[in-house]
Structures are given as C-alpha cells and as structure tokens.
Homo-oligomer: A and B are copies of this chain.
Amino acid sequence: MWPKFEGSVTILLNLAGVNFLLSKKFFVKLVPPRLGDNLADCDRLLSALLVTAGKVSVPLGLLRRLPETLRAAEWRVTAILGRTEGGWRLQEVEAGDTTASHFGLAVDAGTTTIAAAVVDMTAGTVLAAASGENMQTSVGEDILTRILAAGQPGELERLQALLVMSINEVAAQAAAGAGIRVREIMAVAVGANTTMTHFLLGLDPAKICREPYIPVANAPGLFRAADLGLAAHPEAVVYCLPGVGSYVGGDAVAGVLVSGMHNREEVSLFADIGTNGEVIIGGRNWLVAAAGAAGPAFEGGVLQHGMRAAPGAVFRVKIHPQTHEVDYRVIGGVKARGLCGSAVVDSLAGMLLAGIIDRAGRFRDGREEFVVVPAGEAESSADIVITQQDIKNFLKTKGAVNAAVETLLEAVGVKLQAISRFYAGGAFGEHLDVEAAVTIGLYPDLPRNRIVLLGNSSLEGAKRALVSEAARRSLTKICGRITYFELNANGDFMTRFAGSQFFPHTDITLYPSVQKKLRGGGIIKA
C-alpha cells in the first residue's frame, strides 16, 4: 500500500551505484507525519525507497526499532539495503546522511590461509587488507583429513567455528587497518573452494570426497552474517561465490572472472595451484574444468618445513649451479622459520639446474635432504631443509595438475602450445618466480608474455562480487557454461598422473626452454 505519495518525501540519492552493490545506502529526508499525512513509519520509509529499490522487506528487529530511530534522527535517515534473492531487505537505518561510509568485506577462505580486504562500497576500492592462518589446520593440515573429521559428532560444528573464527580474526585486522568497526561491514563476499564453502555454511562435506562427488550446494545463495557468526553487522549480506563441482569451487570461478578469459575468442588456461590444482580451459565459446586433487603439497604443513607466506617465511631461494651456495630472502626481514610455496619452487628449480636432483626428483648423491637455511641462521636453530619425501609429495601435486591439464586438453582437442594465455591464480602465485615455475614444470613452457600471474584472484573476484551485480551475474553465467570433468573417476587422468611425476615433465620436448637450459648445464645429454 503506497498511498498519498505526493509531497511527503524528498529523495536524495546517487543513482550511480544503483543495482550494482551487494548492499547499498540511500539518504532520505522524510516529511514528518501529521494529521492528514498519517502514513505509518515503516510505510513512510519504504515509500521513499520504492522508486529506486522497489519492494523492500523489513526484518522484525529493525521494524521494532524504527519509530524511535526515525524520530531521533528527525526523519533524515540513511537506509541501508541488502540484496536478497528477489530484491532488497532493510539492513539498518542510520541517523543523518552516512552514505559516505559504506563498507564491505572481500574474503578468500583458503585451506591454509585466509585473506580479507575491507572495501569502500561506494568507491569500489580496497581500504585495507590482512591475512592469517586458517585455524582448521589444527584439525588437519590437508582438506581430506578435515572432511573425514567432520563425520565425527560435533566436529562439523567445530570446523565451522574454527573457520569463522579465522575469518573474523583477519576481518578484525583489516577493519583496524581501515579504521572502521567490523559492525560497519554491511556485505561479505567469500571466494573459497567447495569444501571451505561447506565448512563456512556448516554443510556436511562428506559426499564431496565419495563417488559420485556431490556437493550440498554449488550456488548456496545469500545469508545473514548473524546466521553464520561472521564478524560484521548482524544483517550483513553474505554471498559465497558459486562453484561448479566438488573440486572446482568459487575461488577457481573467480579466477576465470578476473582473467576475463570467458570473454576472449582464443583459448586460455587458468590454473589455481593450491589445495586441489583446479584447471579451467576455454574462452568465449566453451569452458571445461577439472581438478587434480592430489593433496595440498603447495600449502604449508605438508612439507616438513613448509609454512604460509607470513613473516619468517623464506620466499626466494637461489642456488649457485656450481658451488651449490644458497642465497635466500625472508618475509619481514626476520630470522627464517620455514619455506613458503615460492621458496620451494625456487629451491626445486635450483636443485634441478645444479644437478643436485635428477628429473625424477631423486638426490643424485644419495643424500636425504637439502639444507636451504642452515641451523645457525634459522629461528629454531635447526636446519630448514627440503627432504626426499617433500620432493615426492610435491611431484605428486604437480603431476596431478599436469595430468589434469593434459586430460582436459585431450578431451577438447587443443594442443598446449595453442593456449593463448596461461593464467596462474590463487594466493600461492603471489611471490612465485615464473622461470622457476616453468623449470620444474609447474607452469607450461609457453612464451613468457603468455603467462599472466593473477595474484589472489579469489580475493579479487570476491571484491568485484561485493561491488558489482554485473560481476555476480558473470560468475553465475561462467558456472553455467563450464563443463565439469570429474577426474577422480577418470582412467585417462589416472594413467597420465602415474606417469607425470618428473621435472619438468615425462616428455621433456614439451618444455623446450627447460630442455635447453638442462642441456646447457650438462644436466641432460644434448
């Protein structure tokens, strides 16, 4: 019922942001009620919002506070609206014009690392970012351990709480960096793999790792922060980036969005070499996806001295080809505590080129480990090493990614060299040295200008989803266009996987630039 509209309201709004945010603010000056203009408080506010937002639903708690809020603010209020499946709901009513302060939180909820950024919803800019550990690692370093743990009574709830606590801690850091209270966050967008999305929502992930590998939800919709326990305004809208299958989640789909490959005529390849090694190939006309789920050898904890990219992590390693002398750099300039992913890649490439390991990853002199940081320089006063087992684990993950790429390429009849661009996504790629990654076969041996490092594309995708409805629509469209290959049950993949555990690859001719280097160094025969 919207009677007697004339004269009872003045709408001041910035149309620029309409329809593009997960939450939006409108400043309205309402004419106070009087005899002859007796519109109810709620109807008076909603009338003012009708033209721009259409029908808006009002949560009971907010409705109960409304009369006092409107009168205390002398009928000049900022209404904050949050996206719902079919429209908008009122999230908050603030006194006066607060449209200049409107915040969202973008989250990349990784298996090992949580990253978050506070976003200015109006400007679409990042105000502050932070990252921290996923506290679920206390239950299990790798994701399969956690899925199995979740089957025990009470453990799913505990895993959910641990993830939410982890996100909240990082959110609090980012909010402090931006100089805001977490309560001012009105929208949260989360990029995560399918299992992490399940944990965040408290959904049972049990069927993700059992044939036929079915998630509870790929596009779980919109939730309230209070329902999940997230540190934000209780009515903050929570949007989980949609995924396409048990092993290709919202984080990978974000990679496609950020790369823009879904809009390009040529065929591109996106790989997120994190927990699962998600691979998406295609362009404007088709997209295929798969994941080589071979364990998180690239994330902290699985390697003996692995750790996430935090202060104390060695992130750059150079091994002299002849003297085998090691030069390394540590994040934060403190004493070394462990090796992050980029250091492992650097080390393996260096060891290969120096002839310390052979193409199968075996130490040529029969030793059991390679010392990257000697005890005297390490925080723990113990050698920081890469062991034979570490190399085996690493080869498995790398091999899984290679096998996934090759299985997909074979299925769609495209040669690797025909790939116009290789996009490396995920938090892992941040410090990565492209040459080293190609040397060990983690990245394909393409002309280097075709290799694009996207950085944390999951976080970037979440940021875009926060401030752009077009981005959210694109994510949904991308999901709808992706054909998902379940490699867990694919014989071709298994064969390739078994035979692919070499540096850079079983078939060295696929890596001509590496072949040349190895020949030059006398590591392989000319």
Chain A interface residues toward B at CB < 8 A: 1-3, 33-43, 55-58, 60, 63-64, 66-67, 84-87, 89, 201-204, 206-207, 211-223, 227-228, 242, 244-246, 476, 479-484, 486, 489
Bound Cα distance from A483 to B39, whole angstroms: 11
**A227 and B1 contact, CB distance less than 8 A:** no
**A203 and B85 contact, CB distance less than 8 A:** no
- Residues of chain B lying within 8 A (CB to CB) of residue A486: 35-36, 38
**A35 and B85 contact, CB distance less than 8 A:** no
Closest to A84 in B: B86
**B203 and A43 contact, CB distance less than 8 A:** no
Interface centre among A86, A204, A476 (most CB of B within 10 A): A86
Q: A67-B207, A85-B56 are in contact. Are A1 and B219 (CB under 8 A)?
A: yes
Contact of A40 among B40, B215, B228, B482 (CB under 8 A): B215
Contact of A58 among B1, B89, B221 (CB under 8 A): B221
Closest Cβ of chain B to A92, distance in Å, is 17
Q: A57-B84, A84-B85, A84-B86 are in contact. Are A63 and B217 (CB under 8 A)?
A: yes
**B1 and A217 contact, CB distance less than 8 A:** no
**A1 and B223 contact, CB distance less than 8 A:** no
Contact of A43 among B35, B218, B489 (CB under 8 A): B218
Bound Cα distance from A101 to B213, whole angstroms: 34
Closest to A86 in B: B86
Q: A38-B246, A67-B207 are in contact. Are A214 and B57 (CB under 8 A)?
A: no
Closest Cβ of chain B to A142, distance in Å, is 22
Bound Cα distance from A212 to B214, whole angstroms: 59
Bound Cα distance from A3 to B1, whole angstroms: 39
> Can you name 17 A-B pairs with beta carbons within 8 Å?
A1-B218, A1-B219, A2-B480, A3-B480, A35-B213, A38-B212, A39-B218, A42-B218, A43-B219, A55-B85, A57-B84, A57-B86, A57-B221, A58-B217, A64-B203, A64-B204, A66-B217
Closest Cβ of chain B to A181, distance in Å, is 25
Closest Cβ of chain B to A221, distance in Å, is 5
- Residues of chain B lying within 8 A (CB to CB) of residue A40: 214-219, 245
Q: A85-B87, A480-B1 are in contact. Are A245 and B38 (CB under 8 A)?
A: yes
**B60 and A202 contact, CB distance less than 8 A:** yes
- Residues of chain B lying within 8 A (CB to CB) of residue A483: 3
**A60 and B223 contact, CB distance less than 8 A:** yes
Closest Cβ of chain B to A3, distance in Å, is 5
Q: Given A1-B479, A3-B479, A58-B217, list of 16 further CB < 8 A pairs? A: A1-B218, A3-B244, A38-B245, A41-B214, A41-B217, A42-B216, A55-B85, A55-B86, A57-B221, A57-B222, A58-B220, A60-B202, A60-B223, A63-B216, A66-B217, A67-B216
**B216 and A60 contact, CB distance less than 8 A:** no
**A60 and B214 contact, CB distance less than 8 A:** no
Closest Cβ of chain B to A467, distance in Å, is 21
Bound Cα distance from A206 to B67, whole angstroms: 10
Closest Cβ of chain B to A13, distance in Å, is 20
Bound Cα distance from A313 to B213, whole angstroms: 67
Closest to A203 in B: B64
Closest Cβ of chain B to A432, distance in Å, is 31
Bound Cα distance from A248 to B39, whole angstroms: 12
Bound Cα distance from A222 to B36, whole angstroms: 27
Closest to A57 in B: B85
**A220 and B38 contact, CB distance less than 8 A:** no
Interface centre among A39, A207, A218, A489 (most CB of B within 10 A): A218
- Residues of chain B lying within 8 A (CB to CB) of residue A204: 64, 67
Closest to A224 in B: B60
Q: A41-B214, A84-B86, A86-B85 are in contact. Are A64 and B480 (CB under 8 A)?
A: no
Bound Cα distance from A364 to B87, whole angstroms: 66
- Residues of chain B lying within 8 A (CB to CB) of residue A60: 201-202, 223, 227-228
Bound Cα distance from A171 to B227, whole angstroms: 29
Closest Cβ of chain B to A200, distance in Å, is 11
- Residues of chain B lying within 8 A (CB to CB) of residue A35: 211-213, 486, 489
- A-B interface, 5 closest residue pairs, ranked by CB to CB distance from nearest: A86-B86, A86-B87, A1-B479, A42-B217, A57-B85
